[in-house]
Amino acid sequence: MFIFMLPKDVMSRYKCAVLQCVILVLMTVTIAKAQWVETNDIPYNVGHVFSKINRLRSQYQEPQEESQQQILVNSLLYNGKSVDHTTVTSLLEGVRQLKAGALDVNVSETCFNRTVQYLEGLMNRQYWAIRMFDASAKLPSGVLDGNFRWLGSYSECLAVDAYVQYNVTNPDNTTWTADDQFGGQYCTGYVGIQQPGLPPATLSIGLCVPAGCSNQDLRHLLNAFISILRIKSPLLDKAAFACNKQDRPLNSGAIAVICIAGLVVLCVLIGTIYDIVHQNMGFNHKPLIPYASETKVISNGAASISVDEHTPLIHSQKNVGYSNSENNGANGIMHKILVAFSVYTNGAKVLNTKQASGALTCVNGIRFLSLSWVIWGHTYYFAATVTDNISSVTQDLMKRWTMQVLISGPFSVDSFFVLSGLLVTYLTMREMKKGSGRFRINWGLYYFHRFWRLTPPYMLVLLVYVPTIYYWTNGPMWVSTVDGFDPYCGESWWTNLLYINNVVKSKKMCMGWSWYLANDMQFFVISPLILFPLFWNEIIGVGVLLATLLGSWITTGIVSNVNQLAPGSPNQAGSFDMLYVKPWIRIGPYLIGMLVGYILYVTECKPKLNRLTALIGWMVATATALALVYGLYDVYQGHPLSNDVGAFYNAVSRTAWGACVGWVIYACCTGYGGFVNTLMSWKAFVPLSRLTYCAYLIHPIIMYVVYVGRETLIHATDVTMTYIYFGNIVASFAGAFIVSMVFEAPMMGLEKAILRREKSA
């Protein structure tokens, strides 16, 4: 105990060893004597002996951690044969041959000299060399469970501080002593593994090497060591290296982003300060209270839909405003622009839980729970590369019927499509009914409003994320992985701006999860082709909608059948591009949402069903949803569907799920929701639903930074992943609130101020 409490100072190893022996002897004698005198009932002052120990400690002070760690490392690494003297001797002899010019190798002088010093230090059991070796990865357990990432100790490697002296021989055979000081550098070696009948895998090995060695230096040194040790391995011949750089100067893109972000934050600060001062200087005669002048409510006595013309289609940012400028006459455009950037006002709007009486609040719950389902699936998906038991976890998930909800997570996105189709149809029909003329509404503003509401936060997140993510954190997996997270953003970002990234350069997509935004925008763009027929002629409109739905089914079935993409089949490599992101495949739930929205518009949310019919509707919807979620359980047990049956499932399953969600919304709206409507209408869902859009944008980025910035792998268990999942939920919505305050809400306020000014003019 006292050994580890010794203070730090400089002391020779000899004196330190003597001191340790003396302390151990004194402690042994003290304990033995104390036991003897206690047995014989003799009083004894133990503190007298310990005071002698303290005096010895004060005379010889040395960083005891080094000597103790050396003893431990020597016993484990050397006596335990982790460091093979024969191998190190062979390597050192080979390096000396390289040094003498007997072997030709293209390695920088700095890297070469420091590698020699490292091997010599390892042979001489120098602490810094042993620590560098200790920081490098060793063969771990769990390889058969998929542990192909051997990280070593990143922090320990960076903590290495070597000071060496060595003799340098001049051409005239005179020698002189040189010194060098360097630290450890963390690098990752990659070795491809290919076994017959198994997919290729990559083994990554963390290496702590002397600073100053480049990726090419390590590649050449490996070739030299292979030659020296006479190793024959085709895998090592193709090995690659990636070294973490501690000095990472900001590039021009990152500097530009920081300047832009700083300007936006400055605007937010100015707007917030102005708003607070303005409201506390007596300009407002009424407290901040929600007003409903912009909120339209269609009621049937049992339930209603609270919507407005600015309701976004992904999140329900109700225009619950605050009666400030209207009460004091401060209606100038500059006032509105400043308040648009105010966190004080925007935060109150987002966090407000009040809604009109009888509003369709179940939409808030559906929206939040759907995104929670998305985040749950992504929690496992993004953790796959940083898990040390991925093989066993994957097999376990497939075998457990309780985890079919996780595996069926892609249905969660179809719920968003239903909501989007429902809202665009219901709101547009109401506006067309109030309008006049051939086109009824201003279709230019129809498209501009949609583009303006979604694009600013989307593009600003993309703008901040792409140039700067490299600098957000660091770790053994960071630099070697971050370039591969979104490697195509530099060449395909413009497809995101135009919302065509799911059909143009879809195999090189930037922000891979943004495929949903592209689909949703494309469906919105073509929606008037169905809305016009629905408005003017119900039969023709419904016929066009059903014909489009049938065409989507047929297209999906053909694509699935031709490419053999049945669920559970081994040929799933191209399913993401061919089946998952294409609009002609994913439009089914959106069309169902449009149909439900049209029904709500025609019926004005009035009950049209008897209790028995409603009960049957709930039973059919519940049975269908359960069949979709759990129906493929047997498939994942090794009994794949036939190609034809799989094609049919791929064609209709998403539409069937959309019909289930559509029924829930319809039933809640018309008074048949029961406890489901009560649960989904919890007030806490109201502000959370307003943040779903921003949370969807940023949650994969948050997960990636947290996962890949780790210094250790995750051992996935139910408890661990559940804990991580709830952390992801909290972090995603906390980040979404910040993004909403800085990017989304100000843009919405600017649009409102500018467009209303034009209307009033």
> What SS3 state is found at 72?
helix
Alpha carbon separation from 101 to 107, 214, 226 (Å, rounded): 12, 21, 17
Residues 524, 528, 533: CA angle, nearest 5 degrees: 145
Give me the mean pLDDT over the 740-751 stretch.
90
Cβ(718)–Cβ(482) under 8 Å?
A: no
Two structure tokens written together for 603: 């019926």
pLDDT at 484: 61
Two structure tokens written together for 375: 């985040």
CA distance 461 to 694: 9
pLDDT at 195: 64
- 8: which DSSP letter? P
Rg of the chain taking only CA atoms, in angstroms? 34
Residue 325, pLDDT > 70, answer no
Positive or negative: CA dihedral 677, 680, 682, 686: negative
Q: Which three-class secondary structure string do you get for 702-730?
A: HHHHHHHCCCCCECCCHHHHHHHHHHHHH
> What SS3 state is found at 242?
strand
pLDDT at 603: 86
Q: Domain segments of the chain: what residues? A: 3-62, 82-243, 297-760
Give exposure, 504-531, as e/b (b: 16+ Cβ within 10 Å).
ebbeebbbeebbbbbbbbbbbeebbebb
Give me the mean pLDDT over the 306-330 stretch.
40
pLDDT at 41: 46
Residue 589, pLDDT > 90, answer yes
In 101-200, which ranges are continuous DSSP H helix? 109-123, 127-135, 154-159
Most confident range, picked from 297-301, 328-332, 368-372: 368-372
Residue 22, pLDDT > 60, answer no
**626 or 230, which is more confident?**
626
pLDDT at 437: 57
Residue 158, pLDDT > 90, answer yes
Cβ(437)–Cβ(610) under 8 Å?
A: no
Report residue 26's pLDDT band, with 50, 70 and 90 as the boundaries.
very low
Contacts of 111 (CB under 8 A, 6+ apart): 210, 212, 213, 214, 217, 221
Q: Which three-class secondary structure string do you get for 332-388?
A: CHHHHHHHHCCHHHHHHHHHCCCCCCCCCCHHHHHHHHHHHHHHHHHHHHHHHHHEC
Residue 306, pLDDT > 50, answer no
**12 or 568, which is more confident?**
568
* Beta strands 201-210 and 149-150, pairing class: parallel
Mean residue pLDDT across the chain:
79
CA distance 413 to 366: 11
Give me the mean pLDDT over the 13-41 stretch.
39
pLDDT at 1: 33
Percentage of the chain beyond pLDDT 70 is 75
Cβ(696)–Cβ(394) under 8 Å?
A: no
Residue 45, pLDDT > 50, answer no
Two structure tokens written together for 175: 């020698």
CA distance 208 to 77: 16
pLDDT at 331: 56
pLDDT at 125: 85
pLDDT at 469: 85
pLDDT at 196: 63
Residue 467, pLDDT > 70, answer yes
Report residue 223's pLDDT band, with 50, 70 and 90 as the boundaries.
confident
Report residue 380's pLDDT band, with 50, 70 and 90 as the boundaries.
very high
Percentage of the chain beyond pLDDT 90 is 42
In 257-295, at which residue ranges do the beta strands (DSSP E only) sit?
290-291
Cβ(742)–Cβ(265) under 8 Å?
A: yes
In this structure, the number of other CB atoms found within 10 A of the CB of residue 594 comes to 31
Q: Mind listing the pLDDT tens digit for each residue in 655-666?
A: 999 999 999 999
pLDDT at 241: 87
HSE-CB at 355 with a 13 A cutoff on CA atoms is 29
Q: Mind listing the pLDDT tens digit for each residue in 1-15?
A: 333 333 334 334 433
Distance of CA 54 to the CA centre of its chain: 53
**In the block, residue with structure tokens 């004060």:** 58
pLDDT at 284: 54
Report residue 667's pLDDT band, with 50, 70 and 90 as the boundaries.
very high
In this structure, the number of other CB atoms found within 10 A of the CB of residue 702 comes to 19
Least confident of 244-258, 361-375, 469-483, 605-619: 469-483
CA distance 119 to 141: 27
Give me the mean pLDDT over the 308-313 stretch.
38
Two structure tokens written together for 54: 């303290």
In this structure, the number of other CB atoms found within 10 A of the CB of residue 140 comes to 14
Residue 313, pLDDT > 80, answer no
pLDDT at 480: 64
Report residue 310's pLDDT band, with 50, 70 and 90 as the boundaries.
very low
Cβ(383)–Cβ(697) under 8 Å?
A: no
CA distance 437 to 449: 21
Cβ(159)–Cβ(184) under 8 Å?
A: yes
- For the entire predicted model, the pTM comes to 0.81
Q: Is 142 left (phi over 0), alpha (psi -120 to 50) or beta?
A: left
Give me the mean pLDDT over the 156-160 stretch.
93
Alpha carbon separation from 235 to 137, 151, 194 (Å, rounded): 18, 19, 9
pLDDT at 355: 77
Least confident of 60-69, 107-116, 448-457, 485-494: 60-69
- In the chain, the N- to C-terminal Cα span, in Å, equals 83
Residue 77, pLDDT > 70, answer no
In 435-473, which ranges are continuous DSSP H helix? 443-468
Two structure tokens written together for 188: 């990752």
Two structure tokens written together for 497: 């701006």
Residue 541, pLDDT > 90, answer yes
**388 or 91, which is more confident?**
388
CA distance 728 to 643: 37
Residue 289, pLDDT > 50, answer no
Residue 439, pLDDT > 80, answer no
CA distance 477 to 135: 15
**434 or 577, which is more confident?**
577
Distance of CA 305 to the CA centre of its chain: 34
Residue 154, pLDDT > 60, answer yes
